[in-house]
Structure 1
Amino acid sequence: MTQVCIYPKDAARLTGTQYTAGKRLLQRIRAALGKPAGSYVSVGEFCAYTRLPEPEVTAAINGVPVLPRR
C-alpha cells in the first residue's frame, strides 16, 4: 500500500534537513492550510507547498525508483 501522508522524518529526508526542520516544515504547511495542530499532511498538500513533483515524492517515500525523464 502506498503512503499518502507525510511524516516529519519523510519531510526531513526529502528536503535534506534534520528531523526538527521537517517537523517545522509540516507545522508551516498546516498553518498555511488552516489545519489544526497534529493533523495529517497529504503528499499532494506537501508537494503543492514545496513545489516538488508529486510522482518523485511518492516514489521516494514508497521506495520505488524513479525513471529518468527523456
Structure 2
Amino acid sequence: MKLRRICIYPKDIQGITGRSERYGRKLIKEIKDHLGKASHQFVTTMEFSEYTGIHLDIIEAYIQQTS
C-alpha cells in the first residue's frame, strides 16, 4: 500500500489554483480560522477540498503527480 500525503501546503495551493504562494498562506489561515484550528495545526486535503469546493480526487491527483 502506497502512503499518500494528507496535509496541504501553500506551494500545493499555488500549483492547484495558479495563484501566488502568499495567497496559499492566506487561504490556509482562512481555513484554520473557519474551522477553529490553532496556528500550529495542519489543514488536510479533505478540509481544503470542502472549503474550496475543489473535488478531493483532483487535489490528490495533483499532490501525487508532484511528489
2:58 is aligned with 1:56: yes
The alignment's C-alpha RMSD in Å is 1.2
Q: What are the ranges of 5 or more consecutive residues in structure 2 without an aligned counterpart?
A: none
With structure 2 as the length reference, what TM-score do the two structures score? Answer: 0.89
Following superposition, the deviation at residue 12 of structure 1 comes to: 1.4
Say which structure is richer in helix. Answer: 2
Runs of 4+ in 1 over 2 A off after TM superposition: none
- 2:40 & 2:48 partners in 1: Cα distance? 15
2:20 is aligned with 1:18: yes
State which of 38, 46, 56 in structure 2 corresponds to 1:44: 46
Instruction: Provide the residue aligned with 1:2 in structure 2.
Output: 4
Q: What are the ranges of 5 or more consecutive residues in structure 1 without an aligned counterpart?
A: 65-70
With structure 1 as the length reference, what TM-score do the two structures score? Answer: 0.85
Larger radius of gyration: 1
Number of residue equivalences: 64
**Partner secondary structure for residue 23 of structure 1:** helix
